[in-house]
């Protein structure tokens, strides 16, 4: 089914059900519809975060901030409810700011951070500041008096806008970046996409929309208590509804609400007034056991075949200069005073046994391990901090174990890198060079290790880097494939790229301009291949 | 007053360490952040309440039954958790669902009424130099401390304990030595549940219980487990006492509302400072 048809159909069902409920049960029906729409807004805005690979366990933080801001501004007739809604949205967005450092975390850690943040805000607002401790009673106005038609209409507009906004987000470059981060944060950083920068937008929008929902809730119930609007159940509710419908689909929140909310309100609440919300726990457990992806399949943003949003520019060549680099991992020095430089058009082969420091060297150059001492220069400029910043000026890397974007096809994996370098025309040629044309429409998560290695190489070549870091690109390849890949690396060297090529074992290969042999984190040898062979053959003195 | 606050914080912190111990064990060996841990604590507390208050059992016997109940509850999780496709994230959502179910079951069974053990001999205060404690607080704190030392000794000395520690460091390496990671996982959940429920019993001895308190206890357990870093008596007691003293001082100096701010702030701070390393470093 086309997305547009699905959108119209599902919203048609939801609004028709709402009209029937209002027509048949009047005031109760209007309340039912109002809270149903409120649940849809909450669930959809929660799902928005999942699109960026985040998992919130504390959306009550934003809901509470919105409800308290609205109640505080409107009580006493100081501010119009419409103006206050804008202020509540802004307050929600501001409340998301302290979570910026958490945007680097993995989804589970982010979830725990939001869980703690909601409790922290509840404690600060209700207890420490005594803000809303005794509750606010909101004055009734013609538009905002319980489930008054204008308020229900506002909720309907917000619910439709939030699903539409999610859909539009997925179609924009920001949505594609978010999808890339969700699939593989490390690979995304290696393409110059900043995790915090790209996750900030969906989080702020989600927080603002949730805050507006909180503000409308304040009018819907006519009163606000801190303990209620920050309660954990308001964090769990959108999570359950969103996951049930399908968190990676813009209509997931709506579908989850349509399935569970009427069942709870019409059957369970009358039967079990004290413990009716057990249905949400049961639904969540059953969902994770039997259909963890939710009722609707993920909407994967596709990478366009042509440059619909040209953003990238080719990278200018520069030399890599490493000076007295010392790096520690978990308190142990893994690199000790390593110095070398690689000019454009040179290949530096790095050799060494397991634990010699080869991968640590690549991680440090890529910006994933901080240097304790020493410096790394790109040309004459100190390398910027962070993996994404280094990638943006032309550093690319492959991973020892392939890390593709598993939901995207092979072609899309290469195109997303090509798009960043304004190089989309080269995608088909690269797929052909690496014998990936036959696999181009296969999801990259279904590739073998050898195919994944070739895809890694295609991705970095499409990125047109200035400095290329290769982590054992030949490991696991057949002799023919290894020969072919070596030829491609030689080809990219000729275009003026500085290559740092790590391989396991003592064989320097044929293509190295210079060799660096590491042992226990120190340089054991640095020089030409001929010098290395002579050194190996010389009798130990 | 400050000295009394610190002393009360130390006693409270030992109980907190007991609450965090089970979660720490499940976190390290079971690879799961059990968000239903606070509800496990409550289940233990309610078992103790029913047995002591309803049936007149002596509390040490009731405490043992509470631990058994917690162990049974913990043993339910591993086969279910193993079916989750992405344990790290799905495990959070799954245990949140379990927490919600348990919370509602407690509401159905025990209502939202606050439950306390009636006063008497055990609630009388005793003076230890310049500071005062109720007898029951001293017993609960010492009980938690003793249980932690026992747990630590079990982990260090016993065959199963070394298996748990091996699996927590590397499942493949442990499996290559003939240690079954799945079996150790079951043991961790069982011991974690028992510890949580026993700690819940100690909580009931010192304060009240209500079904809505589960998430607050989970947060305390998270703070202790994160700050402690590993399931060892010294690490957990240090973390628990630090949290207990900070809470106690904040309450005395700034008011009771700071209690949950301290625990949530500790978890948040830990995630911001240390959590960055949780991102794979490749």
Please report whether residue B232 resides in a domain: yes
- Please tell me whether residue B278 adopts helix, strand or coil conformation: helix
Q: Are residues A209 and A325 in the same domain?
A: no
Please report whether residue B60 resides in a domain: yes
DSSP A144: S
Longest CA pairwise span in chain A (Å): 98
Q: Are residues A201 and A327 in the same domain?
A: no
CATH number at residue A351: 3.40.50.300
pTM for the model: 0.88
Of A106, A122, A126, the CB nearest to B278: A106
Given a cut of 90, whether residue A158 has pLDDT beyond it is yes
Q: Judge: B271–A116 Cβ closer than 8 Å, yes or no.
A: yes
Q: Judge: A109–B275 Cβ closer than 8 Å, yes or no.
A: yes
Q: How far is Cα A352 from Cα A321, in angstroms, rounded to an integer?
A: 20
Q: Judge: B92–A111 Cβ closer than 8 Å, yes or no.
A: yes
pLDDT at B276: 47
Mean pLDDT of A68-81: 86
- Name the token pair of B131: 């500071």
Q: Are residues A459 and A405 in the same domain?
A: yes
CATH number at residue A105: 1.10.3470
Domain containing A349: what range?
320-537
Given a cut of 60, whether residue A314 has pLDDT beyond it is yes
> Taking CA atoms, what residue in B is nearest to A232?
B215
Mean pLDDT of A323-346: 91
Q: How far is Cα B182 from Cα B178, in angstroms, rounded to an integer?
A: 12
Q: Are residues A236 and A374 in the same domain?
A: no
Contacts of B275 in chain A (CB under 8 A): 102, 105, 109, 113
Q: How far is Cα A413 from Cα A416, in angstroms, rounded to an integer?
A: 6
Cβ neighbours for A230, distance < 8 A, ≥ 6 positions apart: A60, A61, A63, A64, A118, A119, A121, A122, A125, A126
For all residues of chain A together, what is the average pLDDT? 88
For all residues of chain B together, what is the average pLDDT? 86
Please report whether residue A462 resides in a domain: yes
pLDDT in tens, B186-228: 999 999 999 999 998 888 877 788 888 898 899 999 999 998 8
The model's confidence at residue B123, banded by pLDDT at 50, 70 and 90, is low
pLDDT at A182: 92
In chain A, how many domains are there? 2
Given a cut of 60, whether residue B168 has pLDDT beyond it is yes
Please report whether residue B281 resides in a domain: no
Cβ neighbours for A457, distance < 8 A, ≥ 6 positions apart: A398, A434, A473, A485, A488, A489
Please report whether residue A75 resides in a domain: yes
CATH number at residue B92: 1.10.3470
pLDDT in tens, A362-404: 999 999 898 999 999 998 899 998 899 999 989 999 998 889 9
Q: Judge: B281–A109 Cβ closer than 8 Å, yes or no.
A: no
- What are the two backbone dihedrals, phi and then psi, of residue A522, each rounded to the nearest 5 degrees? -110, 160
Please report whether residue B282 resides in a domain: no
Q: Is B108 on the interface with A (CB under 8 A)?
A: yes
pLDDT at B96: 93
Q: Are residues A343 and A244 in the same domain?
A: no
The model's confidence at residue A306, banded by pLDDT at 50, 70 and 90, is low
Q: How far is Cα A18 from Cα A147, in angstroms, rounded to an integer?
A: 13
Closest-CA distance, B249 to chain A, in angstroms, reads: 15
Q: Is B76 on the interface with A (CB under 8 A)?
A: no
In B, residues 172-191, which contact A (CB 8 Å cutoff)? none
Please report whether residue A19 resides in a domain: no
Q: Are residues A405 and A353 in the same domain?
A: yes
Closest-CA distance, B121 to chain A, in angstroms, reads: 34
Q: Are residues A412 and A280 in the same domain?
A: no
Mean pLDDT of B275-281: 39
Q: Judge: B257–A106 Cβ closer than 8 Å, yes or no.
A: no
ipTM: 0.89
pLDDT in tens, B26-67: 988 888 899 999 999 999 999 999 998 888 888 889 989 999
pLDDT in tens, A174-199: 999 999 999 999 999 999 999 899 99
Which uninterrupted H or E stretch holds A498? strand A498-502
Q: How many CB pairs under 8 A join A and B?
A: 158
pLDDT at B118: 67
Asked which of A216-220, B59-63, B93-97, B134-138 is least confident by mean pLDDT, the reply is: B134-138
Q: Is B277 on the interface with A (CB under 8 A)?
A: no
Exposure string (b/e) for A187-218, b if CB count within 10 Å is 16 or more? bbbbbbbbbeebbbbbbbbbbbbbbbbbbbbb
Contact B245, B13 (CB under 8 A): yes
Closest-CA distance, B196 to chain A, in angstroms, reads: 20
Mean pLDDT of A423-447: 90
- Please tell me whether residue A438 adopts helix, strand or coil conformation: helix
- What are the two backbone dihedrals, phi and then psi, of residue A501, each rounded to the nearest 5 degrees? -120, 110
Asked which of A215-219, A466-470, B27-31, B235-239 is least confident by mean pLDDT, the reply is: B27-31
Q: How far is Cα A426 from Cα A312, in angstroms, rounded to an integer?
A: 14
Q: Which of A335-339, A523-527, B8-12, B127-131 has the highest mean pLDDT?
A: A335-339
Mean pLDDT of A167-180: 91
- Please tell me whether residue A55 adopts helix, strand or coil conformation: coil
- Name the token pair of A528: 């030409």
Mean pLDDT of A489-497: 88
Please report whether residue B130 resides in a domain: yes
pLDDT at B121: 61
Q: How far is Cα A297 from Cα B233, in angstroms, rounded to an integer?
A: 46
Q: Are residues A107 and A186 in the same domain?
A: yes
- Name the token pair of B175: 């499996």
Q: Are residues A410 and A286 in the same domain?
A: no
Q: Judge: B89–A289 Cβ closer than 8 Å, yes or no.
A: no
Closest-CA distance, A371 to chain B, in angstroms, reads: 14
Contacts of A189 in chain B (CB under 8 A): none
Name the residue with higher pLDDT: A39 or A5.
A39
CA neighbor of A322 nearest in space, from A355, A296, A357, A297: A357
Given a cut of 60, whether residue A533 has pLDDT beyond it is yes
Q: How far is Cα A152 from Cα A158, in angstroms, rounded to an integer?
A: 10
Last residue of a domain, one of A290, A305, A332: A290
The model's confidence at residue B279, banded by pLDDT at 50, 70 and 90, is very low
The model's confidence at residue B122, banded by pLDDT at 50, 70 and 90, is low
Percent of chain A past pLDDT 70, that is, above it, reads 95
Q: Judge: B261–A363 Cβ closer than 8 Å, yes or no.
A: no
Q: Judge: B97–A240 Cβ closer than 8 Å, yes or no.
A: yes
pLDDT in tens, A38-64: 999 999 999 999 999 999 999 999 999
Asked which of A8-22, A97-111, A197-211, B120-134 is least confident by mean pLDDT, the reply is: B120-134
Q: How far is Cα A195 from Cα A181, in angstroms, rounded to an integer?
A: 7
Please report whether residue A129 resides in a domain: yes
Contacts of B96 in chain A (CB under 8 A): 57, 236, 239, 281, 284
pLDDT at B22: 92
Please report whether residue B279 resides in a domain: no
Last residue of a domain, one of A290, A306, A336: A290
pLDDT at B277: 37
Of A57, A185, A403, the CB nearest to B96: A57
pLDDT in tens, A102-156: 998 888 899 999 999 999 998 888 766 666 667 788 887 777 878 788 899 999 9
The model's confidence at residue B278, banded by pLDDT at 50, 70 and 90, is very low
In chain B, how many domains are there? 1
Helix then strand then coil, % of chain B, to nearest 5: 80, 5, 20
Cβ neighbours for B272, distance < 8 A, ≥ 6 positions apart: A101, A102, A113
pLDDT at A22: 77
Given a cut of 70, whether residue B80 has pLDDT beyond it is yes
Q: How many CA atoms lie within 13 A of A444 on its CB side?
A: 26
Chain centroid to CA A478: how far?
Answer: 35
Ramachandran bin of A303, using left for φ above 0, alpha for ψ from -120 to 50, beta for the remaining angles? beta
Percent of chain A past pLDDT 90, that is, above it, reads 52
Of A105, A116, A363, the CB nearest to B264: A116
CA neighbor of A157 nearest in space, from A28, A257, A15: A15
Mean pLDDT of B116-137: 75
Q: Judge: B105–A112 Cβ closer than 8 Å, yes or no.
A: no
Please report whether residue A306 resides in a domain: no
pLDDT at B120: 62
The model's confidence at residue B275, banded by pLDDT at 50, 70 and 90, is low
pLDDT at A443: 93
Closest-CA distance, A270 to chain B, in angstroms, reads: 14
Q: Are residues A450 and A348 in the same domain?
A: yes
DSSP A524: E
SS (H, E, C) B206-273: HCCECHHHHHHHHHHHHHHHHHHCCCCHHHHHHHHHHHHHHHHHHHHHHCCCHHHHHHHHHHHHHHHH
Contact B121, B135 (CB under 8 A): yes
Q: Judge: A119–B83 Cβ closer than 8 Å, yes or no.
A: no
Q: Is B131 on the interface with A (CB under 8 A)?
A: no
Q: Judge: B108–A275 Cβ closer than 8 Å, yes or no.
A: yes
- Name the token pair of A413: 């994996």
Q: Say if strands A332-342 and A320-329 run parallel, antiparallel, or are unpaired.
A: antiparallel
Please report whether residue A476 resides in a domain: yes
Q: How far is Cα A124 from Cα A129, in angstroms, rounded to an integer?
A: 6
Task: Scan for tokens 């009550």, then name that residue.
Answer: A60
Closest-CA distance, B85 to chain A, in angstroms, reads: 8
Contacts of A126 in chain B (CB under 8 A): 257
pLDDT at B265: 92
Please report whether residue B248 resides in a domain: yes
Q: Judge: A119–B260 Cβ closer than 8 Å, yes or no.
A: yes
The model's confidence at residue A499, banded by pLDDT at 50, 70 and 90, is very high
Interface test with B, best of A119, A226, A287, A400 (most B CBs within 10 A): A119
pLDDT at A506: 62
Which uninterrupted H or E stretch holds A258? helix A252-263
pLDDT at B281: 27
Contacts of B93 in chain A (CB under 8 A): 55, 239, 243, 284, 288
pLDDT in tens, B81-107: 988 888 888 999 999 999 999 999 999
Alpha helices, H only, A309-448: 358-366, 387-392, 410-420, 427-433
Q: How far is Cα A240 from Cα A278, in angstroms, rounded to an integer?
A: 12
Q: Are residues A270 and A362 in the same domain?
A: no
Chain centroid to CA B246: how far?
Answer: 18
- Angle (nearest 5°) at CA A255 between A251 and A258: 145
- What are the two backbone dihedrals, phi and then psi, of residue A477, each rounded to the nearest 5 degrees? -95, 150
Domain containing B7: what range?
2-274
Last residue of a domain, one of A240, A271, A290: A290
Please report whether residue B280 resides in a domain: no
Mean pLDDT of A464-490: 86
């Amino acid at each position: 089914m086309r997305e547009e048809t699905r959108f119209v159909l599902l919203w048609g069902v939801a609004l028709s059900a709402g009209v029937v409920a209002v027509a048949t049960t009047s005031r109760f029906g209007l309340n039912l519809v109002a809270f149903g729409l409120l649940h849809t807004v909450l669930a959809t805005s929660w799902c928005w975060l999942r699109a960026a690979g985040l998992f919130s366990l504390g959306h009550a933080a934003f809901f509470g901030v919105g409800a308290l801001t609205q109640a505080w501004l409107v009580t006493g007739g100081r501010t119009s409810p419409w103006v206050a809604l804008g202020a509540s949205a802004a307050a929600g967005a501001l409340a998301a700011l302290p979570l910026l450092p958490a945007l680097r975390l993995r989804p589970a850690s982010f979830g725990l951070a939001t869980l703690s943040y909601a409790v922290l805000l509840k404690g600060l607002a209700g207890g420490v500041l005594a803000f809303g401790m005794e509750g606010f009673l909101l004055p009734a106005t013609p538009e905002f008096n319980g489930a008054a038609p204008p308020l229900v209409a506002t909720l309907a507009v917000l619910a439709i806008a939030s699903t539409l906004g999610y859909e539009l987000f997925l179609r924009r470059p920001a949505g594609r970046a978010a999808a890339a981060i969700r699939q593989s944060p490390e690979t995304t950083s290696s393409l110059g996409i900043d995790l915090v920068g790209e996750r900030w937008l969906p989080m702020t929008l989600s927080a603002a929309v949730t805050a507006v929902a909180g503000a409308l809730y304040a009018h819907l119930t006519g009163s606000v208590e801190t303990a209620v609007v920050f309660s954990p159940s308001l964090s769990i509710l959108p999570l359950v509804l969103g996951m049930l419908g399908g968190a990676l689909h813009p209509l997931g929140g709506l579908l989850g609400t349509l399935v569970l909310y009427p069942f709870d309100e019409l059957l369970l609440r009358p039967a079990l007034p004290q413990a009716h919300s057990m249905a949400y726990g049961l639904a969540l457990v059953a969902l994770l056991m039997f259909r963890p992806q939710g009722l609707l399949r993920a909407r994967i943003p596709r990478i366009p075949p042509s440059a619909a949003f040209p953003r990238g520019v080719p990278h200018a060549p520069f030399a890599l200069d490493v000076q007295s680099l010392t790096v520690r991992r978990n308190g142990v020095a893994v690199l000790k005073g390593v110095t070398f430089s690689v000019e454009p058009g040179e290949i530096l082969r790095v050799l060494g046994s397991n634990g010699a420091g080869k991968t640590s060297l690549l991680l440090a150059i890529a910006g994933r391990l901080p240097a304790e001492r020493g410096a790394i220069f790109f040309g004459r400029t100190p390398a910027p901090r962070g993996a994404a910043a280094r990638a943006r000026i032309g550093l690319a890397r492959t991973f020892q174990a392939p890390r593709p974007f598993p939901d995207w096809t092979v072609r899309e994996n290469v195109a997303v890198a090509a798009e960043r370098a304004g190089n989309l025309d080269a995608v088909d040629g690269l797929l052909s060079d690496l014998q990936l044309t036959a696999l181009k429409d296969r999801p990259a998560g279904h590739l073998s290790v050898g195919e994944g290695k070739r895809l890694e190489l295609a991705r970095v070549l499409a990125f047109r880097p200035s400095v290329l870091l290769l982590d054992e690109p030949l490991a696991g390849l057949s002799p023919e494939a290894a020969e072919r890949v070596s030829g491609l690396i030689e080809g990219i060297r000729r275009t003026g790229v500085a290559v740092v090529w790590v391989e396991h074992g003592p064989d320097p290969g044929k293509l190295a301009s210079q060799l660096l042999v590491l042992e226990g984190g120190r340089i054991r040898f640095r020089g030409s291949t001929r010098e290395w062979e002579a050194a190996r053959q010389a009798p130990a003195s | 007053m400050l000295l009394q606050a610190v002393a009360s914080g130390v006693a409270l912190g030992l109980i907190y360490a007991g609450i965090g111990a089970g979660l720490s064990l499940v976190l390290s060996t079971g690879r799961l952040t059990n968000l239903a841990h606070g509800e496990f604590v409550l289940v233990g507390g309610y078992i103790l309440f029913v047995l002591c208050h309803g049936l007149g059992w002596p509390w040490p016997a009731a405490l043992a039954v509470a631990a058994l109940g917690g162990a049974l509850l913990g043993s339910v999780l591993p086969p279910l958790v193993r079916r989750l496709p992405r344990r790290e994230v799905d495990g959070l959502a799954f245990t949140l669902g379990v927490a919600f179910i348990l919370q509602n079951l407690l509401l159905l069974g025990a209502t939202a009424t606050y439950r306390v053990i009636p006063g008497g001999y055990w609630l009388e205060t005793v003076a230890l130099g310049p500071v005062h404690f109720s007898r029951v607080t001293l017993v609960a704190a010492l009980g938690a401390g003793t249980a932690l030392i026992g747990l630590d000794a079990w982990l260090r000395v016993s065959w199963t304990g070394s298996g748990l520690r091996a699996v927590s460091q590397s499942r493949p390496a442990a499996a290559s030595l003939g240690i079954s990671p799945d079996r150790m996982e079951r043991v961790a959940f069982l011991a974690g549940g028992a510890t949580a429920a026993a700690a819940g019993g100690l909580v009931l001895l010192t304060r009240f219980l209500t079904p809505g308190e589960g998430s607050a206890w989970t947060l305390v357990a998270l703070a202790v487990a994160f700050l402690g870093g590993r399931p060892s008596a010294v690490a957990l007691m240090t973390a628990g006492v630090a949290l207990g003293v900070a809470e106690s001082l904040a309450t005395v100096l700034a008011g009771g509302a700071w209690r949950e701010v301290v625990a949530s702030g500790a978890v948040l701070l830990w995630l911001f400072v240390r959590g960055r390393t949780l991102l794979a470093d490749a």
